[in-house]
Amino acid sequence: MTDEPASLVAPWIAKHGVTHPIVILPDGALERVIGVKGFPTSAVFLGKEMQWQGSPSQSGSALGDAQSEGRKDSLYPKKLSKIVKAMNAGESAKALGLLRAGMAKFKDIDLDWANRLDAFLIETSVKDIAAASAAIEAGFWNKAVQIATPYLGKDSLFPCAADAQAMLDKLSEEKLFSKEILGGKLFEEAKSLEDAKEYSEAFKGYKSVLKRCGDTNISEHARTAAQALIDGHKPGYNSNCPKCSANKGAACEKHLESVKL
């Protein structure tokens, strides 16, 4: 543990009477061991074997309970707060611009964190633009636009920005572009309803995609999703009904709705 990082956590250790080992490796060695893909990332070890790794928001049970009582302030130094705020708001181009503009002013641990964040933003942009391209190929055009847009803008410093803009420009020239985007928005709304187990409303949402954007790629996805709801006996499901709840998400005979595409 280096002196400066140690001074940052020492008050917390003293306040909470922590007796287990606390180690900070500012050179990124720990991140490589647990396979950090983004911040924050947590990992739980039993001996030398890693038992769990992922975002703290994905943890549950005893680990989730412990985290609920933990600190909620940012992992990053205060000097990076505006950059992190922009990043968390989905304004990646703004975040990288602020980061690069202030890089000369950062020192010591702040500079170390700034460099990590810079590398993370660039790495994430490459993965996201690849994901956007894959989404286009799969027929999810609106999703592709949503993924790529945060990296665009005339002042964007992302190396992938020009290629991403060209990709979206080419897409926008397609005859059914407007319908694909509208259908994508409707599809996402229906998917949100499905995730909330509002299956009847979700079915209506998917059917709306077919009605309003029937000749698009996204309409085929909507048809598949709607048919899956029918096949799974989902429409009519009532979360307050014991029989529905015990039926693994399928509606019971009383509440099952007869719907057709």
In this prediction, residues 141-145 reach a mean pLDDT of 97
* 192-231: pLDDT as tens digits: 999 999 999 999 999 999 999 989 999 999 999 999 999 9
Mean pLDDT check: name the lowest of 9-23, 144-158, 163-177: 9-23
**Which pTM does this prediction carry?**
0.70
Residue 258 pLDDT: 94
Burial classification of residue 250, based on how many CB atoms lie within 10 Å of its CB (0-12 exposed, 13-18 middle, 19 or more buried): middle
Nearest to 41 by CA among 15, 5, 75, 82: 75
In this prediction, residues 37-63 reach a mean pLDDT of 69
